[in-house]
Structure 1
Amino acid sequence: MAQKKEMSGTERRVIEAIVDDNLSEVQALLLEPGLGVDFLDDTGMTPLQHAAFRARREICRFLLASGSDVNSNYHDNGYTALMFAALSGNVEVTRMMLDAGANPDHTNSVGRTAAQMAAFVGQHQCVAAINNFFPSSGLDIYTKPQGLEKEPRLPQHLAPVLVKMINMSNMNPVRIAYFLQDHKEILENSKKVSRVFDTLCEKAMKARDTSDIMALKTHYFATIIRRASKVYEEKQNLDGWIKSLVRGRESDGFPELQDKLIKQSLKEFPYPESELLQQMVHNLANPRLGTHPSAVVLLSQAINGQRYGANEEEDCTTCGQMRAEKKCSACKMVRYCDAYCQKLHWSTHKMFCKDLAVKHQKIQEQKQREHDEEAKHLAEIEAQKRQGEDEELNQKMEDTHIKDKNDAETSTLNGESEAEWNRKVVQDASQLQSLTQATVET
């Protein structure tokens, strides 16, 4: 078992190399005899934990391959590499820890899991990655014939692509359609893929530790794959179907087809006893289509958990991807991943762009008014502070004048020479002038 101790010079150099993201230096240093890959620093952190916290992907990959313990928890507060990865905000490193066998249920000294810690600091993508994790080996059993099977249920080359799909956290059907468009091999083998997803759904619900989330998610994916494959068989692409998913109604731009697709998927879910399903059905019982939250939002919350402190207005309006950086240049009120998402949404957005531009202008004016009021308030506070300082200075000058007068009278009574008294007055005046100058400069 690793012990906390004062680090050697070599161990310090390893940590410094990790901070500098210097993989070759880390590799060279760890070759030194007697230097373990899981040595602890004075807080109980391992090199892997340092690398995970700084999102050093290649160094993390090397340390894991070298046998580093992904579940080491000798840190003073019980943190693990998964917790540090989640706090870093790097989804790839977070999944790397999970794939290496990290325990997502481990709690730190205050009883928080890695997902809860990530949610607390606003790393919602890492929260989703943890909640949606599916191991890279999870489909291996389906790529080999089992029992009397003459051929595997799933072509081996599809397994990595499907693992990537299952680990998706974005439940927006447009985003999933993008993925299928980029991986047409899924659509070309849609029957096999959807059957495997149906099996995964069944296993998740019938396992000792039931996973309603995985069951609902794999069923939802199977539903979309079946719909998309029908379109693909006829058109050989998904362009038209994706456009229909994005298209919003004229009254408010709400994408009705997305809502209907998700609600139909829930209706077809084969396990009505699922508590998660019942919760979703209750939340979707609002009789008016298009009210907030939408089916997409509710499904995402069910799969990924609540996004505390997150701003949904920063998501891509077209595909729901988080933290979309581009804005409509005209209204500046909607965000997109890229020009492709913006182009797809334009037929709907153009009906509301001018109104949104007016709304944006009013918001900016309100922000400016609030800024001006705050600046005015701060100026008033500063003026009051200066006035107080001036009054204090005047009082000191008056006190000094009175003191000088009293000193003069006392000196005269004591027989002190007038010249000596004048000299002291000049000296006191000089000190007072220095004090006044220092106060002004302050």
Structure 2
Amino acid sequence: MAAFVGHHNCVAVINNYIPKSEVDYYTRIHGLEMQQYLMPFLSDSLHKFIMEVNIHPVKVVLNLQNLAGLADHLPDIKKVVEMMCEKEMKRGPETNETMAFKFHYLAYTIDELLKFKQKKEKADDKKIDVVELFIRNLLKPGKDGHLESMDAFIKECIREFPYRESTLFRQMVTSLTGLDPPSALSIINAAINGQKGFIDNISVCSTCGEEKPAKKCSKCKAVQYCDRNCQRLHWHWHKKACQRLSQGVETTEAPVKPDAAELSSEIQNLLIS
């Protein structure tokens, strides 16, 4: 009902909610375990990471960097999130396919980032900011401007979801294979955060997908960003289209000068009638 009346953010928060105790469970030793899976000081950061409603892959990576401790313990974070995914699918009647897929998606993103880091470390190029390069690859546009790399990334994530008999998996596959399918990001966003009752023309950050960004590109005014960091991360690709977009905006926004004779004629007609 909340989604139908436009309170989509409320629905997203509810869909993504998980008690912190679910995360704290992994900070303790149980049964025959030799040690806990998660260091206690990571519990708060991991809970915030899981609860985030913006599931844009760039936002996921930025959260891994910005939330205290996560970037230095990616293998542990990945393991815990994978275990949480499995746990959600083994709750019997209370199985939560939505959160199970979200955990899978988060773990998949972490795994791809780890693989990318290992690959670059073998190249032994210490000048490269690996996370920035990973984000740049996600944002690489195709010839038509469509984010093909990101789309392929998310489609592969869906394909690797291990619970293929689940209703959610089948729904996502049906959406992806239909005629004129929407983007893979919009499909998983609907699966996790719920369908929007109305299509809102809400502006989003061109880098991380955050809604209602505060800044615009100062040159073209056509793309928006959360902050300077998002603008910097996107500039590698945006600079190639900035001038063209700027000309398009100027053409669109150029005021049409009224014709004096035409105006005079219309006024006279109004007075006569």
TM-score above 0.5, yes or no: yes
Moved more, 269-278 or 239-248: 239-248
State yes or no: 1:164 paired with 2:57: no
Structure 2 residue runs of 5 or longer lacking an equivalent are none
Aligned pairs for 1:363-402 within 5 A: 363-364=252-253
Aligned partner of 1:155 in structure 2 is 39
Q: Is the 8 A contact 1:253 1:348 kept in 2?
A: no
Aligned partner of 1:190 in structure 2 is 74
Aligned partner of 1:269 in structure 2 is 161
Given candidates 352, 360, 365, the residue that maps to 2:241 is: 352
Instruction: Note closer, same or farther for the CA distance 1:283–1:189 as it changes in structure 2 (3 Å cut).
Output: same
Q: TM-score, normalised by structure 2?
A: 0.82
Aligned pairs for 1:174-323 within 5 A: 174-183=58-67, 185-207=69-91, 208-233=93-118, 234=121, 237-249=130-142, 251-285=143-177, 293-307=182-196, 308-312=198-202, 314-323=203-212
Cα drift, residue 298 of structure 1? 1.6
Aligned pairs for 1:107-146 within 5 A: 112=1, 115-116=2-3, 120=5, 122-146=6-30
Aligned partner of 1:406 in structure 2 is none
* Residue type at the aligned position of 2:106: F
Q: Deviations over 1:320-355 (max 9, x none)?
A: 011112122332221111122122222222222233
- Cα distance in 2 for partners of 1:309, 1:255 equals 21
- Cα distance in 1 for partners of 2:82, 2:236 equals 36
Q: Is the 8 A contact 1:325 1:337 kept in 2?
A: yes
- Cα distance in 2 for partners of 1:298, 1:327 equals 27
* Residue type at the aligned position of 2:53: S
How many aligned positions are there?
255
Instruction: Note closer, same or farther for the CA distance 1:354–1:286 as it changes in structure 2 (3 Å cut).
Output: farther
Q: What is the DSSP-based 3-state SS (H/G/I as helix, E as strand, rest coil) of the residue aligned with 1:318?
A: coil
Q: Deviations over 1:85-107 (max 9, x none)?
A: xxxxxxxxxxxxxxxxxxxxxxx
- Cα distance in 1 for partners of 2:160, 2:136 equals 24
Cα drift, residue 228 of structure 1? 1.5
Q: Is the 8 A contact 2:49 2:67 kept in 1?
A: no
The percentage of counterpart residues that share the same residue type is 38
Cα drift, residue 185 of structure 1? 3.1
Q: Is the 8 A contact 1:253 1:349 kept in 2?
A: no
- Cα distance in 2 for partners of 1:185, 1:136 equals 17
Moved more, 343-352 or 214-223: 343-352
Instruction: Note closer, same or farther for the CA distance 1:347–1:189 as it changes in structure 2 (3 Å cut).
Output: closer
- Cα distance in 1 for partners of 2:181, 2:237 equals 18
Moved more, 322-331 or 181-190: 181-190
Q: Is the 8 A contact 1:331 1:354 kept in 2?
A: yes
Q: Deviations over 1:201-245 (max 9, x none)?
A: 122222222211101100000011112123345368512212222
Instruction: Note closer, same or farther for the CA distance 1:349–1:292 as it changes in structure 2 (3 Å cut).
Output: farther
* Residue type at the aligned position of 1:243: R
Q: What is the DSSP-based 3-state SS (H/G/I as helix, E as strand, rest coil) of the residue aligned with 1:241?
A: helix
Q: Is the 8 A contact 2:27 2:39 kept in 1?
A: yes
Cα drift, residue 296 of structure 1? 1.4
Q: Deviations over 1:131-152 (max 9, x none)?
A: 2111222212111111111211
Q: What is the DSSP-based 3-state SS (H/G/I as helix, E as strand, rest coil) of the residue aligned with 2:188?
A: helix
Cα drift, residue 176 of structure 1? 0.8
- Cα distance in 2 for partners of 1:128, 1:212 equals 15
Q: Is the 8 A contact 1:336 1:342 kept in 2?
A: yes
- Cα distance in 2 for partners of 1:293, 1:356 equals 24
Rg larger in 1 or in 2? Answer: 1
State yes or no: 1:338 paired with 2:227: yes
RMSD: 2.8
Aligned partner of 1:29 in structure 2 is none
Cα drift, residue 177 of structure 1? 0.9
Q: Is the 8 A contact 1:247 1:345 kept in 2?
A: no
Q: Is the 8 A contact 1:316 1:322 kept in 2?
A: yes
Q: Is the 8 A contact 2:45 2:68 kept in 1?
A: no
- Cα distance in 1 for partners of 2:145, 2:165 equals 35
Q: TM-score, normalised by structure 1?
A: 0.52
- Cα distance in 2 for partners of 1:185, 1:157 equals 8
Q: Is the 8 A contact 1:330 1:357 kept in 2?
A: yes
